[in-house]
Structure 1
């Protein structure tokens, strides 16, 4: 089921809305003035349910504009508060697949850096040790396939920092494909990076049932098309397993 061709709905009830964010759309409004996920989804809810006035929709977590994949929103303020608490206390599962330049060494590792944000440039620097203003960032990656000088990796976040995966993988010499900001190649379509939110999981804010929402990148899109869908799914499952441990 889709609300519009480019934004598939993964799940919806009275409290939650899980969708697939297309690459290139901001999570929320920014200086560009371009349509963003919050606005598009609010407009769609208003239209589908014929609601007068404003429609509530809360942003639970963010995905970088050039990334895509599973994303969760709250349909009530109570749900937003409880889901935000889950994110803050790290009771919110997130795992990703990405395509990076080169071949990460070792093939799997836990990376710890300290990210220092340059707000003016909208860029972060991954430092090897603590520094004033820098925040600890931890992720785990595992390689899942290689092709054309690129490597498919499964990534699990243990902290949620802006540009974390992009900056940390670049710091070990393996920037994401398409991520010009961090030293990657220029993307074919000019606005995407090879980073996909494969899974988000959290306890339902009302029923407390554990909810898991999954998504895979379009199999025809570059550079994902270098691997069969079964291999992309295996990489996503690898990242999800790490997240559950």
Structure 2
């Protein structure tokens, strides 16, 4: 489990600093950028200006301009990207599948088995190592050092789409969308069993399991865990497994894996959440052999980040990107489509 580091132990929603400041009753009128320079000494004026431009700084729940004068009792919220601060990242010439790129951002299709960010036991061969090498010679790099903007993550053994910010402004603009849950994220999952309802919504707080701190568990609404919402739709059923579309409303650690396990349909071959055992079907030797062969076709949890939609930082238009299912996922689907009990 160490190699997966629980999605780096960071929710998508937690990749950003979030400040809430209430102006004093005796607050003198002062420009908001100057006001925040005093309150947030570690944040540069340029970063604040970019946050204001991307509407990541709001007063009383409304975006403002740099010239706005802070008034007594104003409630100011600030959302800023807060990428992990790990050891030095070594650029590595690792092939990337880039499906879109412009001056502000790029979309990559991450293969299963690749860790997103360097961490304990995975200091090399990660997506960030590859991106750092790829970006170092681009005009957007600083002092010859490319520093990719990691906006969100997916598990090591989950394949699919990730958006990478190439500029500070794009990082801040995209960060706001993830924080506001306005990003559209669609995943395809092969799960055990066939849900009773073809479409549904799973709502339940997600937090570390009290029994096993290495995994996440679902808890009722309350003080423990964090609010999480997953919408699902059954696309195809194969008697004992189903292809399910999942749309994330929130971005919690292992959200889909924990939520589907919670409703009795763990992801196929997800060893962490019990999907590497026969959950539905007979216990005959022939069925066991069939399932084992299917496991060999997709030796990981059957989860793929299929599509991603967001508002472009500069063009301000909504962009939607889609990806094909990887070969191992297709092979597992094909095998189950031919199964006859």
| Same-fold call, TM cutoff 0.5 | yes
What TM-score bracket applies, with the shorter chain setting the length? Answer: 0.7 to 0.9
Q: Distance in 1 between matches of 2:108 and 2:207?
A: 30
Using the size of structure 2 for normalisation, the TM-score is 0.60
Q: Which one of the candidate residues 240, 248, 261 is aligned to 1:149? A: 240
In structure 1, runs of 5+ residues without a counterpart are 229-245
Structure-1 residue corresponding to 2:182: 91
Say which structure, 1 or 2, has more relative contact order (CA 8 Å, 6+ apart).
1
Structure 1 residue 220: Cα displacement: 5.0
Higher strand share: 1
Q: Distance in 1 between matches of 2:165 and 2:181?
A: 17
Residues 116-155 of structure 1: pairs in structure 2 closer than 5 A: 116-118=207-209, 121-127=213-219, 129-147=220-238, 149-155=240-246
Q: Which one of the candidate residues 91, 107, 112 is aligned to 1:18? A: 107
In structure 2, runs of 5+ residues without a counterpart are 1-92, 278-294
Using the size of structure 1 for normalisation, the TM-score is 0.82
Residues 25-36 of structure 1: pairs in structure 2 closer than 5 A: 25-33=114-122, 34-36=124-126
Q: Is the 8 A contact 1:100 1:175 kept in 2?
A: yes
Q: Is the 8 A contact 2:230 2:256 kept in 1?
A: yes
Q: Distance in 1 between matches of 2:189 and 2:264?
A: 14
Structure 1 residue 227: Cα displacement: 7.5
Q: Distance in 2 between matches of 1:77 and 1:227?
A: 45
Q: Taking structure 1 as reference, are residues 118 and 31 closer, same or farther at Cα in structure 2, changes over 3 Å only? A: farther
- Higher Rg of the two aligned structures: 2
Is 1:46 matched with 2:144?
Answer: no
Q: CA RMSD in A?
A: 2.6
Q: Distance in 2 between matches of 1:192 and 1:153?
A: 17
Q: Taking structure 1 as reference, are residues 71 and 103 closer, same or farther at Cα in structure 2, changes over 3 Å only? A: same
Structure 1 residue 226: Cα displacement: 4.2
Residues 50-89 of structure 1: pairs in structure 2 closer than 5 A: 53-89=144-180
